[in-house]
Amino acid sequence: MPTTDAYGQGIGLWSLTDAPDIPAAIAAFAAGALPRLRLTFASASARGSTLVGAAAPVAGMMTWLTDVGRLEIYDGSAWVVVATGARAWTTVSLASGFSHNGNSGGALRYRIVNLFGEDALMLKGVLSVTYSGSPSVIANNGFVTGTPLPVGARPVELRPVAGACSTTNSDVLSVKIDIGTDGRIQIVGTTSATANPRIQPPWVSFNNILIGL
């Protein structure tokens, strides 16, 4: 009868005392080895349609999904994320009245990462902000996005967060930022430069903003 490997992994190895059967020897080895390897699938649906019946997933099986760039492991009942592929930063398209690299803090950029099995939106960069009129108001009613974030980067619910801001023309150190389900980002709560409190900072930071989608 086939023996098993010396590492205790249950991989069947044909022995010299077994009847010659190359296909069966290869099948025994593959059946023991493949579930312990990292398997690659085009998508989760492709994986689901392939790993069925005798090839059903077993605890410890690991797969790479190429469409989302994600490594997952089967815990015995479900696929859970253990890592994510490198996601490039994408520069946000801005509405008129806003510009990148405020306070030399870099362009406003975003990327999607996966933490503990949940996709999350990361932001970084600093915007320069303009105000106009009398009394002066923030440009574009505070909506900084010229083009909304793509569907995959939009939260399922409104996500209010805080962003550090300049103390020039501002009596506060941060402002409210809303990230909407429509993919638009808005700076909220600014006031006139003569109001009390006055909240018209020339730049707003988006660094260290991380929200679950």
Q: What is the pLDDT of residues 68-80, one digit of tens each?
A: 888 889 999 999 8
C-beta separation of 102 from 204 below 8 A:
yes
* pLDDT at site 38: 78
Q: Can you name the residues that pair with 199 across neighbouring β-strands?
A: 170
Flag whether pLDDT at 6 surpasses 70: no
Q: How confident is the model at residue 16 (pLDDT cuts 50, 70, 90)?
A: low
Nearest Cα neighbor of 100 from 199, 204, 184 is: 204
* pLDDT at site 206: 98
C-beta separation of 41 from 48 below 8 A:
no
Each residue's pLDDT tens digit, 44-93: 999 999 888 878 888 888 888 888 888 889 999 999 887 665 678 999 99
CA-CA distance, 172 to 71, in Å (whole number)?
A: 43
Token duo for residue 83: 């890592």
C-beta separation of 125 from 100 below 8 A:
yes
Q: How confident is the model at residue 29 (pLDDT cuts 50, 70, 90)?
A: low
Each residue's pLDDT tens digit, 153-211: 999 999 999 999 999 999 999 999 999 999 999 999 999 988 899 999 999 999 999 99
The whole-number average pLDDT for the span 31-36 is: 60
The per-residue pLDDT of the chain, averaged, comes to: 87
